[in-house]
Amino acid sequence: MTMLVHLNGKLIPAKEALISVFDHGFLYGDGVYETMRVYDGVTFMLDEHLNRLYRSALMIGLIIPVEVNSLKNYIYDTLIANSLKEAFVRLTVSRGYGPIGIDPDLCHSPTIVIIAQEMRDYPKSFYERGISLIISEIRRNPREALNPQIKSLNFLNNILAKIEAKKKGSYDAIMLNVYGMVTESTISNIFFYKENVLCTPSPDCGILEGITRGIIIEIALRDGLIVKEGEFTKEDLYSADEVFITNTTLEVMPVSRIDNKEYPVGNITRLLHKAYKEEVKAYVAKVKAEGPSIWGYE
C-alpha cells in the first residue's frame, strides 16, 4: 500500500510529498514539530501535543495558518488514509519557502507536513534489561540561547550528544546544562529514584517539559510517592537506585548503565510503566466513549 503524507492540506503519495530546497526548515532548521503516539486509533494526549506545537510556534514568532481543529482533522485523515491504528505521527511546521537569508519575513506561507507510520516498537530486551547512557560532553543549549522548551527543528545540539554516545558504544546520552546540572536525554526526559524519592530535573534546568514526564509525575504523586523536581548533578545520578527515561514513543524505558555505573531494572520503574500503560488505556477508552476517534468516522 502506498503511504500517504499530508502536505499543506493535501494527502499525497509519500514519493511525491516533496518540499522546496528553499524551505527555511531545510535551510535553517527554522520550524517546530511534535511527535504523537496513536493507540488503537486514538492519538494520545492530542490536545496537549497541539497546545505545545502552537506554544513552540509562538516562541519563534511563527504563526500556524490553520486552526487546531483543522490540524486534528488532518491527523485523523492521515491515519485513516494509511489504515493506521498503532502508529506514531510526526507533525512538522516549518517557516516555509523563501529566498536565502535568515529573515523569517522572507517566508510567507509555513509548510505543514504530517507523516503517520506504523509504530515500530523498541526491542523487548530494552525494557527487560534497560539501556546504557553516557553523560555527554556536549552541554544542553541554555534557555537564554535556544530555549529547550521550544520543540524546534534545530536538533544539532542533541544530535551531537547522540553521535558521542554511539561513538562510545552507548545507546544515548544525558546532557548537563552549562552549570553542570542534569537536564535530559537527547529525545527524552530523565528520572531517577533514590532514597524513596522520585527525582527529575525541574524546567528551570533547561529541558523540554515532556508530556510523558508530566503524566509520570501525576501518577507518582497519586500513588503516594515523593516527587522532587530540582537541580541534580551527575553524582546524584550515579548514586541513584533506579533510573529511567520517558517520551511519547518509548513511554518509560529503564536505564541499566550510566558511564561506568550500573543499575538494576527496579520495581518503581516497572510500577510506573505499568501505571502509565493503564493511563493510556483509560484515555483511549474515554476518547472512544466520547467519540470521534478515527474509527468513529466509519
CA–CA dist 148, 185 (Å, integer) = 12
Cell of 281: 488505556
Smallest gap, in angstroms, from Cβ of residue 101 to ligand PDD?
28
> According to the binding rule CB under 6 A, does residue 247 interact with ligand PDD?
yes
Catalytic residue flag (residue 10): no
> According to the binding rule CB under 6 A, does residue 31 interact with ligand PDD?
no
CB-closest chain residue to ligand PDD: 210
Q: Which residues of 40-66 are buried (b: 16+ CB within 10 A; e: fewer)?
A: bbbbbbbeebbebbbebbeebebebee
Interaction with ligand PDD in 156-175: which residues (CB under 6 A)?
A: 158
Instruction: Please identify, using beta-carbon distances, which residue of 22 and 276 lies nearer to ligand PDD.
Output: 276
Smallest gap, in angstroms, from Cβ of residue 114 to ligand PDD?
14
Instruction: Please identify, using beta-carbon distances, which residue of 213 and 273 lies nearer to ligand PDD.
Output: 213
> According to the binding rule CB under 6 A, does residue 269 interact with ligand PDD?
no
Cell of 11: 494527502
Q: ∠ at Cα 36 (76, 10), nearest 5°?
A: 40
Cell of 78: 492521515
Exactly one of 184, 193, 198, 237 is catalytic; name it: 184
Catalytic residue flag (residue 274): no
Question: Do 201 and 176 meet the contact criterion of CB atoms below 8 Å apart?
Answer: no
Smallest gap, in angstroms, from Cβ of residue 28 to ligand PDD?
19
Catalytic residue flag (residue 208): yes
CA–CA dist 76, 64 (Å, integer) = 18
| Residue 253, SS3 per DSSP | strand
- The only residue of 208, 220, 268, 287 in contact with ligand PDD, by rule CB under 6 A: 208
* Runs of H (alpha helix) within the chain: 24-28, 46-59, 68-81, 124-129, 143-146, 156-167, 211-222, 234-238, 267-290
> According to the binding rule CB under 6 A, does residue 212 interact with ligand PDD?
yes
> According to the binding rule CB under 6 A, does residue 188 interact with ligand PDD?
yes
Q: How many residues bind ligand PDD (CB under 6 A)?
A: 15
Peptide bond into 264 cis (omega under 30): no
- The only residue of 152, 248, 269, 293 in contact with ligand PDD, by rule CB under 6 A: 248
> According to the binding rule CB under 6 A, does residue 136 interact with ligand PDD?
no
CA–CA dist 194, 269 (Å, integer) = 12
Exactly one of 28, 33, 39, 238 is catalytic; name it: 33
> According to the binding rule CB under 6 A, does residue 187 interact with ligand PDD?
yes
- The only residue of 30, 184, 242, 251 in contact with ligand PDD, by rule CB under 6 A: 184
Name which of 188, 180, 129, 171 is nearest 259 in CA terms. 171
Exactly one of 46, 50, 79, 208 is catalytic; name it: 208
Catalytic residue flag (residue 72): no
Catalytic residue numbers read 33, 151, 184, 208
Binding residues vs ligand PDD (CB under 6 A): 35, 158, 184, 187-189, 208, 210-213, 246-249
